[in-house]
Amino acid sequence: MQRLLSLFPFPLLALNQSTPLCRCLYGDACWPTTSDFSSLQSQISRPLIYPIPTASACYPLSSPSENCTDIQTNWHNGTWRAGHPGSMDSTNYESFISRNGSISACYVNTTLGVPCEQGNVPVIGVDARSVSDVQAAVKFAASHNLRVAIKNTGHDFTGRSAARNSFMIWTHHLNNITLNPTFVPEGAPAMETYDAITIGSGVIWNDAYNAVAAQGRMLIGGISAGGSVGAAGGWLQGGGHSAFSPLHGLGVDNVIEIKLVTAAGEYLTANAHQHSDLFWALRGGGGGTWGVLTSVTYQTHPTFPVTTVFFNATATNTTVIKKLFTEFVRIHPALSTASFGGYAIATSTSLNFLYSLPNGTDARANASFDSFFGLARSLAVEGLEIATQETGTYDSFNQWFQSIFQTIPTDGGIVELASRLLPTVLFAEDEYEAFADKLFTVAGYQIIWNFVAGGAVSKVDPDSTGLNPAWRESLVEAIWGVRWNEGATYSEIERMRAWLAATMEQVSAIMPGAGSYFNEVRHETGSLFEPTPKETYFGSHYDRLKEIKDEYDPNGLFIVGAGVGSDEWVDDLNCRRSD
């Protein structure tokens, strides 16, 4: 192991190991010995893995391996990345920025002339193929006081599935899928049945959608390019939204049962009848916090035809786009009532969206946008150019998904995000105009507009799950962010982060106390980017979540940035606070 890791000459973190308050990291005197790892190897079904940064095969520059071409070709392919333990979908989280501003990374752009280093990628781990593998990994990490990173696909906008000098539990190959039209949760009465799908924690949404489509069903899941987001991990634990959440609710509203390994190495079934407190926490309390999920069971729904409205317009005059954006905001309460959902992007010079109506028709969809389309046509004299305005109907949810999102299998890239859940009250007739103006002005060059709340989401008792109650009072999730190129300097990155933090303050001033989606935010080590993470991410549920956390993980084996209990640890999450 030492020989393999020496290929990446990264500096080691220096910790004072005289105190038991700190995790044991690679390079520390307490790090498990070769004999310790041999003992672990004897307990698991597959060889230990040594994750390496994605671009490693392109180094050394003098003699890259044949795999370098494959890496360059698939660099932005999320499904391909999910199959590599060292790969994160947001590539910036493979890198590590130290407090002195130095950057440890491995760039695919080899012309930068920067050596390939381990960065934020864990150094060793278990490729879990069974529950017993997971249990062995968890018990080993706990007994040696290791920093743990849990990873299924690496789709994480905050980098919680990687950690520098850590031990990885990789669940990517727990990918069994079982369909059961009469599923009974453990401990439930025999008459409590669901048409359900049980998926291992390594399954991606595209495979889950295809499995239920064969039975004429659909399920609420993540909508992303290529469908490569993990279906039974952080997506669910953070809340889990979909373009069809206004019809059938969020992921946490559709899960029936969760099986996981806790910090004590116990294999538990959590549902409404067994470990119901943990089941409550798992539904919205944040990924990487409660244990290692091994499988999740969701209820499925009959599939339906989907009518989709595509629209794209541009203008060089910002005032024209702002007028159109204001009308776009105004019509959302009515769109919510009709069960529309979807995604939009607004910039200072463009507005485009893809909104979908289940069980709809072209006529109904066009009627819902009549006033918006009328305004768009009238703005032509002021310079608005409508590039696309069309509707299309698909026979089923899966046909809709495969036709649109499988044609854009591009993921990956450097991105850091800010987000806010937009309360429904701000869309009222006497509020929307001022609200739209302020949001458009503050958020800057681009707003990603996820219309994934309202409708069925708002009809669920806010206290029935551990999810931030703000979700039940909101209509839209707004996201904006920053990107930079590989090789950007520390000062360049910090300048963009400062802009992101400033806009977050301004947006917070527009809607004080508004919540945020735990899965789509930036939380960088040492950052004051989100000054009140407990309230923003978990709302009034935080105290109860913390009580449950202390019961099932009293030693804090599973700690992630901004997660429940993380405030008891210093910024790098390697040592407990002494105060």
Token pair, residue 206, equals 């595209």
Does position 418 have pLDDT exceeding 70, yes or no?
yes
Evaluate whether residue 553 is within a structural domain. no
Mean pLDDT value of segment 67-76: 94
Q: What is the per-residue pLDDT for 444?
A: 64
Does position 560 have pLDDT exceeding 90, yes or no?
yes
Mean pLDDT value of segment 332-356: 96
43 lies in the same domain as 98: yes
Evaluate whether residue 18 is within a structural domain. yes
Number of domains in the chain: 3
Does position 15 have pLDDT exceeding 70, yes or no?
no
Evaluate whether residue 569 is within a structural domain. no
59 lies in the same domain as 129: yes
With a pLDDT cut of 70, the percent of the chain lying above it is 94
- Listed residues 108, 135, 170: the one ending a domain: 170
150 lies in the same domain as 128: yes
Evaluate whether residue 547 is within a structural domain. no
Evaluate whether residue 492 is within a structural domain. yes
Confidence tier at 411 by pLDDT (50, 70, 90): low
- Listed residues 144, 170, 196: the one ending a domain: 170
Mean pLDDT value of segment 478-497: 94
Distance, CA of 259 to CA of 380 (rounded, Å): 56
Residue 454 belongs to domain with CATH number: 3.40.462.20
With a pLDDT cut of 90, the percent of the chain lying above it is 86
Mean pLDDT value of segment 357-366: 95
Residue 13 belongs to domain with CATH number: 3.30.43.10
144 lies in the same domain as 276: no
Confidence tier at 191 by pLDDT (50, 70, 90): very high
For 496, other C-beta atoms within 10 Å of its C-beta total 15
Question: Which amino acid, residue 71?
Answer: I
Q: What is the per-residue pLDDT for 287?
A: 97
Three-state SS annotation for 400-458:
HHHHHCCCCCCCCECCEEEEEEEEHHHHCCCCHHHHHHHHHHHCCCEEEEEECCCHHHH
Mean pLDDT value of segment 86-92: 95
Angle CA(174)–CA(293)–CA(408) in degrees, nearest 5? 60
- Three-state DSSP at 198 gives strand
Distance, CA of 433 to CA of 442 (rounded, Å): 14
399 lies in the same domain as 498: yes
Does position 504 have pLDDT exceeding 50, yes or no?
yes
471 lies in the same domain as 335: yes
In whole numbers, what is the pLDDT of the chain averaged over residues? 93
Evaluate whether residue 561 is within a structural domain. no
- Listed residues 170, 191, 221: the one ending a domain: 170
255 lies in the same domain as 282: yes
Does position 50 have pLDDT exceeding 90, yes or no?
yes
Evaluate whether residue 384 is within a structural domain. yes
Q: What is the per-residue pLDDT for 2?
A: 34
Residue 289 — left, alpha, or beta (φ > 0 → left; ψ -120 to 50 → alpha)?
A: alpha
Evaluate whether residue 218 is within a structural domain. yes
Q: What is the per-residue pLDDT for 387?
A: 97
209 lies in the same domain as 158: no
Q: What are phi and psi for residue 497, nearest 5 degrees?
A: -65, -35
258 lies in the same domain as 381: no
Residue 274 belongs to domain with CATH number: 3.30.465.10
353 lies in the same domain as 446: yes
257 lies in the same domain as 357: no
288 lies in the same domain as 315: no
Distance, CA of 331 to CA of 309 (rounded, Å): 14
Lowest mean pLDDT among 7-11, 170-174, 533-537: 7-11
Confidence tier at 5 by pLDDT (50, 70, 90): very low
Distance, CA of 338 to CA of 357 (rounded, Å): 8
Instruction: Enter the pTM of the model.
Output: 0.94
Does position 129 have pLDDT exceeding 90, yes or no?
yes
List the domain range (segments joined by +) for residue 250: 177-302
